[in-house]
Amino acid sequence: MNYELMENNKVFLKGEVVSNPQFSHEVFGEGFYELNLNVKRLSDNYDIIPITVSERLLSINNFSIGSVVAIKGQFRSYNKVVDNKSKLLLTVFVRDLIEIDDSMNPNIIELSGFICKEPIYRTTPFKREICDMLLAVNRAYNKSDYLPCIAWGRNARFVKNISVGQKVCLTGRIQSREYQKKLGEETTTKTAYEISISKIRIEDEDGEKKPITLEYTTSSEAIETVV
């Protein structure tokens, strides 16, 4: 497999298993299962992050509810038919389990990809600046993952000027967020997933990397992203 495609999408998570594995799909006779991890933030809050695990890893590791695991993998998007409709879903594909180290940040993601949609810049009712962008990250077998990202404050003013097609490298964390969606007369609670950016670097056409210093955004601030 292309080494670069392994390095352009890296995730580390440490969290508590909070759901039983549910069968997802099969590839060349190998089954894959979905479950959720409760990953603590630096604050008292937490994120519930979906992960996808091979049956081979499940058979040799403890993924029972309440167990704590540390995993390395990739953040991926894929289409799945739900209620006869195709939906774009996000999950962390587990490549390996590693030894638990409590000194490490429990939620880290590093990506290298291309801006594939014009960034959306706006302000919240509390006058907080925010900018959403969609990053296309190449994967093996001519596939790509489309991953929503978010920047806040003065960082958002930098991100809003990045052109579609520009290659960027970023570091951040995966966060979950519940929101209300009205369907006819009923209102349902749904969960969105996005990457909260802590650092970003732009690559010029000549390959030169330009660093941009971004302020750190606390997890409590990232609650009003529009999906």
Residue 217 — φ and ψ, nearest 5°? -110, 125
| 61 and 113 within one domain | no
Q: Which of 71, 89, 107 is the last residue of a domain?
A: 107
* Residue 180 within any structural domain of the chain: yes
The model's pLDDT over 170-187, given as tens digits with 9 standing for 90+, comes to: 999 999 998 888 777 788
Which residues of the chain register pLDDT less than 70? Answer: 1-5, 204-227
Q: Of the candidates 72, 107, 142, which is a domain's last residue?
A: 107
* Same structural domain, 96 and 9: yes
Please tell me whether residues 201 and 119 are part of one structural domain: yes
Task: Note the pLDDT of residue 3.
Answer: 55
Phi, psi of 59 (to 5 degrees): -70, -20
Cα-Cα-Cα-Cα torsion 132, 138, 143, 149, nearest 10 degrees, comes to: -10
Domain of 167, CATH number, reads 2.40.50.140
The pLDDT of residue 186 is 82
Residue 170 and residue 127 in one domain: yes
Predicted pLDDT of residue 82? 73
| pTM of this structure | 0.85
Alpha-carbon distance 136 to 114, whole Å? 5
- Looking at the fold, whether 133 and 203 belong to one and the same domain comes out as yes
Same domain, residue pair 118 and 201: yes
Q: Measuring CA to CA, which residue among 49, 50, 15 is closest to residue 32?
A: 50
Q: Answer with the one of 78, 107, 136 that is the final residue of a domain.
A: 107
In angstroms, the CA 146 to CA 128 distance is: 26
**Would you say residue 227 lies in a domain?**
no
Residue 97: give the domain boundaries.
Answer: 3-107
Q: Same structural domain for residues 59 and 117? A: no
Residue 172 lies in a domain: yes
- Verify that 86 and 175 share a domain, yes or no: no
Looking at the domain assignment, is residue 183 inside a domain?
A: yes
Quick check: is 101 in a domain?
A: yes
Number of domains in the chain: 2
Does residue 187 share a domain with residue 85? no
143-167 pLDDT per residue, tens: 999 999 999 888 888 899 999 999 9
Same domain, 59 and 128: no
65 and 123 in a single domain? The answer is: no
75 within some domain = yes
10 shares its domain with 102? yes
